[in-house]
Amino acid sequence: MAIEYVGGQTQALSASGSTTVTFALTGGLASAPADGDMVLVSVALTNTSDVSIGVLTTGYSEIAELYSNDTDADANLSLSWKRMGASPDASVQVSGTGSAGVPGIVCVQVFRGVDDTTAFDVASTTNTGIDSAIPNPPSITPVTSGAVIVVAGMSAHKGDTSGTLAASYLSNFRTQVARTSLYTDCTSGMGYVEWTSGAYDPAAWTFGASDSATYSNASVTMALRPAASSGVTGTASGTADVTGSASASVAVAAAGSGTVGLTGSAAGSVAVSASADGAASISGAASGAVSVSAVMAGETSITGTASASVQVSAVWSGEATVTGSATGTVGDSGITGAASGEVSVTGSAIGSVQVSAAAAGAVTITGEAAASVAVTSSAQGEASISGSAIAAVQVRGSLDGSAEVTGQAVGSIVSRVTTLQIAGVVSAVTIAGTVQANTVAGVARGHSVSGIVAASRIAGRVSGHVINGIWRAA
């Protein structure tokens, strides 16, 4: 998100040991800082020695404390910051000058949208100068797009209240002159500019009085880092959490809700688009793309690696889970179904795994599918492989179909199947009729059924087995 300007103010330091500044910001979004806002406070005074100055209120961190020594006027400058909490401060207490003969100024600038973890994009830079009252702030090179450069500075001079400071390139530049009865003067200011690219070298400020070789100055240049954008758009809610790294993009767009969670890395992209609910979760790495698109619900989960893509598209619900690796795709278009579809890969799928069903379909692979595993059913279809399918295992049925391979299938299993189990090795299996139960526990080179078989059991070795009639038991 972009950094926003909340407001700023200046005030002369009191001659006592401390000065209280009650927030009365102007020029920005509010008159006082809110929860999460970043408050920058500079304390400047002119003296004849190096003195300890700064913010006294708890919770502030000092960025820099500078001292510049010259003949008539020595510059003392301190800069501190604090992020406001749930109960923001109403004021800030800083050190006073300690003497009526020492002038000083406090400047306050407040910003919103600064990164919660890393407030400063790069290390702040400082500069001190003698023989001149004109601050010349040092160069800085931010690294994050949207960074805001803040520049603070002061002049230590003497005998001229016209010694104002100006920096036309800085937005909302706050400045004030303080003078004592001893005619020593202090002028301080702070403003900001939005960074575009490369190194930024702020120009020297303009001094309103005659300069002198007995004056001094000090300045600090800072770069504020903007808070990271969530990349989430939705009419209800959407969240994107990245705890590892996403070298491309993570996006959620949903009319209802969408969630993307990364605990590893996504070298490509992770996207969720759903009118109701969609989720994509990666705890390993996805070097291609992981996407969810669903009218009602869709979910994609990767705990290993998907080097290509894993997709879910469903009218009602769809789920794709990869706990091993998928070098191709899980589904041509992922998963399509009017009700639900599910694909689980715990080993590897070199080809494709598909589910297309009007009601429900499931494919489970715990070993390896070198070609394809597909389920197409108007009611329910299921294909399960715990070994290896070198060719294809398919289920097509109007009511119920089940195909299970626990060994190896070199050929294919197709058409309507109530139950088919293969525990050995089958070179070819063709079913053209209806089989109630069929168990092969040995090795069968050829097995053809064109009639009706109530039960068939082969426990030995059969080179050829042809049934053209009705066989009740064998």
24-35 pLDDT tens trace: 999 999 999 999
124-151 pLDDT tens trace: 999 999 999 999 999 999 999 999 999 9
What pLDDT does residue 430 have? Answer: 54
The Cα angle at residue 250 between residues 245 and 252, in degrees rounded to 5: 150
CB 70 within 8 A of CB 156: yes
* Residue % of the chain over a pLDDT of 90: 43
Neighbouring-strand partners of residue 365: 345, 385
Between 418 and 385, residue with greater pLDDT: 385
What pLDDT does residue 101 have? Answer: 86
What pLDDT does residue 190 have? Answer: 98
Taking residues 256-281, report their average pLDDT.
Answer: 60
The pLDDT-based confidence of 259 (bands split at 50, 70, 90) is low
What pLDDT does residue 308 have? Answer: 58
Sign of CA dihedral 16, 44, 129, 163: negative
Taking residues 58-71, report their average pLDDT.
Answer: 97
Taking residues 75-85, report their average pLDDT.
Answer: 98
Separation CA 111–CA 271 (nearest Å): 32
What pLDDT does residue 228 have? Answer: 83
What pLDDT does residue 365 have? Answer: 74
Got the DSSP string for 80-141? EEEE--SS--SEEEEE--SSTT--EEEEEEEEESB-SS-SBSS--EEEEEES-S---PPPB-
Q: String of b and e for 36-58 (b: at least 16 CB within 10 Å)?
A: ebbbbbbbbbbbeeebebbbbbe
Separation CA 66–CA 51 (nearest Å): 10
Taking residues 152-162, report their average pLDDT.
Answer: 89
What pLDDT does residue 273 have? Answer: 59
User: What would the two tokens of residue 53 be?
Assistant: 């100055």
The Cα angle at residue 356 between residues 301 and 273, in degrees rounded to 5: 45
What pLDDT does residue 160 have? Answer: 74
**What is the residue type of 69?**
N
pTM for the model stands at: 0.55
What pLDDT does residue 28 have? Answer: 97
Q: How far is CA 238 from CA 1, 267, 321, in A?
A: 16, 21, 22
Q: Provide the edge-to-edge strand list for the sheet that holds 340-345.
A: 237-242, 257-262, 277-282, 297-302, 317-322, 340-345, 360-365, 380-385, 400-405, 421-422, 438-440, 456-458
Taking residues 43-48, report their average pLDDT.
Answer: 94
Helix (H, G, I), strand (E, B), or coil: what is residue 465? coil
**For the chain, domain boundaries:** 4-224, 230-357, 366-474
**What is the residue type of 281?**
S
Taking residues 45-69, report their average pLDDT.
Answer: 96
365-393 pLDDT tens trace: 777 766 676 766 555 667 777 777 666 66
Residue in this structure with the two tokens 């600090």, named with its chain if needed: 220
